Amino acid sequence: MASTVTSEAAENPSSSSRPGYGQLLRTRGAWTFLLPGFAARQPFAMLTISIVLLVQHTTGSYGAAGAAAAATGVSMALFAPYSGRLADRYGQRAVLIPGVLVHAVSGLSLTALALAHAPLWALFAAAVPTGASVPQVGPMVRARWGVRLQGSPLMSTAAAFESVTDELTFVFGPLLATALCTTVTPSAGLVTEAALTLVGGLLFAAQKSTQPPVTAAEGGHARVEHTSALRVPGVRVLVVTFLGIGSVFGGMQVSLAAFTESIGEPGLNGVLYGVFAAGNMLSGVACGAIAWKAAPQRRLLVGYTGLALTAAALWTAHSVLLLAGLGLLVGMCIAPALITGYTLVEGLVPAGARTEAFTWLTGAVALGQAAAVTVAGQLEDRLWGGAGFLVPMAGTLLALATLVALRSRLVTPARNRTVARGVGHRVPVTVD
């Protein structure tokens, strides 16, 4: 009862104090998984752009580069939810250690094949295990926050903090990968990605004290814990929503690379993508600092509408400054959608299936990115320069239409509320 009262008081909009980043970062044991988790998730933002730059260099085709990167993204999207389910059932450490080993070997094999000018099917053969073994560190960190903050109003702050951390990796990752590929050697990005994944993943797996407990053997609770998160209608709507977000990431990665090459300044690729990711990060920081009164479902609709409108304008940009400005606006619209989507999972999905739910959303972003990389690469090769920017427009508009049509499925049912958070009280209180 005490935890219920505390949670309700903290979530009341009239409360004199509200949780913030400082309070979140003082959570006991948080830094033991945050630092290695940041290192382990950094390569996630490097993988696609590293493959695109390497394969385009060795084949001369953005279509081939996009297809190879797409094979990685599709396999990651398909295997990520199963990785999350295994982590829920057997523990994160049991999944991470073999995963990062396989990823490092596969990534180095893909690098060697590309440098040897192997046929595209051979690149696909190496790209599939490379993507399938990408460690799902972001969802695992979110699950660890859930254990540390169970029943706490800091959960929405943690969701914002994690989205900011994700975007911070998308600021540094593409910049680092592009710098390595353009100033050292085209293979340096992928080699560095494999090394960081191996070292960061093993360090994160070593933090056993903060790992969520394994619940496979908890008698009657096993049926609840192992129900697939995809059976929740709201999760399926969020998956479509995150597919549209992935189309922005993938379409911009290929199109920005093609644009900067067309003007003879390939090094600007990482800078422009960094501006886009910086907008994402800054708006994420703001989202976590605002005491929201609007329902999360409404915030998601408003934010996604802004994303679709700004993404629709990308293909009209024909200068570096205009493209940077539009990219900044697009990035600023992505973070609110991501944060709100992850926040909704807390109420829609049972606790024992949340790692899987988070990986479905992460996998949806990867799948949307993979499809966008493929289509944008083909458009850049076959049509006019900048045609790849049509992909983010189409992806976000289609996802927005789905979101508007099925928005009622995102309403959190009262039966999914836990006792610790106040079953009867939290239904009408939608403050995040």
Q: How many CA atoms lie within 13 A of 74 on its CB side?
A: 15
Does residue 60 surpass a pLDDT of 80?
Answer: yes
The CA–CA distances, whole Å, from 140 to 7, 62, 64, 69, 73 equal 24, 33, 32, 24, 19
Q: For 171-201, how does the pLDDT look when each residue is reduced to its tens digit (9 = 90+)? A: 677 778 888 988 899 999 999 999 988 998 8
Q: For 1-21, how does the pLDDT look when each residue is reduced to its tens digit (9 = 90+)? A: 333 333 333 333 333 345 677
Place of tokens 């927005």: 400
Q: For 303-343, how does the pLDDT look when each residue is reduced to its tens digit (9 = 90+)? A: 899 999 999 888 877 778 888 888 899 888 888 888 888 87
Does an H or E element contain 176, and which? helix 154-183
Determine the Cα–Cα distance for residues 27 and 371; give it in Å rounded to an integer.
Answer: 39
Please name the amino acid found at residue 298: R
First to last CA, the chain: 21
Instruction: Return the domain boundaries, the chain.
Output: 28-211+230-415
- Tell me the pLDDT band of 397, cut-offs 50, 70 and 90: very high
Q: Would you give the DSSP letter of residue 210?
A: G
Contacts of 217 (CB under 8 A, 6+ apart): none
For the chain, percent of residues with pLDDT exceeding 90: 16
Question: CATH for 28-211+230-415, among 1.20.1250.20, 1.10.1270.20, 3.90.1570.10, 2.10.109.10?
Answer: 1.20.1250.20
Q: For 82-136, how does the pLDDT look when each residue is reduced to its tens digit (9 = 90+)? A: 887 788 788 888 889 999 999 999 999 999 999 999 998 999 999 999 988 888 8
